[in-house]
Amino acid sequence: MAGLNPISAPAALPPSTLMAAPVAGSNTDFAASLAAARLPVADLAEPGRTFFAYQTPAGDGGIYGGYEMIEGHGLIRSILVPASLRDKGHGRAVLSALLAEVKAAGAHDVYAYSPAASAKFFIHHGFRELARYEVPPAILGARIASLTCPISTAILYRAL
């Protein structure tokens, strides 16, 4: 994959071996992978979203993650690790890289929309699941909210 860059991790975490490259929201492989995992795709190509594709040193790909900036809040989304590559720390590395990205973009805190089944992944990394009334209107009104089921989707929050 051309244009790969090593991703960074906060000091408390081991350095990641994943390599990152920007991926366009209009990329069909990216959208198909997210759709197969039942993650939102309808707004991927809209402005204001930043996505990355990641590759292991062995050349395994199909690992993705991205974020939006909404009124000073970071919104992390579209993290996907293929089932065959899970439980090896790749999700943690992607999340760490995205936290660093939103911080560098000026976010003062960070939210995530996640399938309920993956909420514990975020909680494991310092996020707290919020009740809808606790969520700022800007995050509740994010486009991704209209693309996800409110019952099976968790909204998570973390300070940066």
Q: Using alpha carbons, select from 83, 82, 81 the residue that is nearest to residue 98.
A: 81
- Closest by Cα among 87, 84, 97 to 54: 97
Min separation Cβ 123 and ligand COA, Å: 8
Q: Please give the residue whose beta carbon sits closest to ligand COA in the complex.
A: 91
Closer residue to ligand COA, CB minimum distance, 2 or 120? 120
- Are residues 25 and 67 in contact, defined by beta-carbon separation less than 8 angstroms? no
Can you give the binding site for ligand COA, defined by CB under 6 A?
37, 39, 77-81, 86-92, 114-115, 118, 120-121, 124
In the complex, the smallest distance separating the C-beta of residue 25 from ligand COA, rounded to whole angstroms, is 15
Residue closer to ligand COA by CB (options 2, 117) is 117
Q: Give DSSP secondary structure letters for 90-113.
A: HHHHHHHHHHHHHHHTT-SEEEEE
Q: In the complex with ligand COA, which residue's Cβ is closer, 21 or 56?
A: 56
The secondary structure of 41-71 as a DSSP string is: -TTTTSTTEEEEEEE-TT----EEEEEEEET
Pick between residue 106 and residue 121 the one whose CB is nearest to ligand COA: 121
Q: What is the nearest approach in angstroms of ligand COA to the Cβ of residue 98?
A: 10
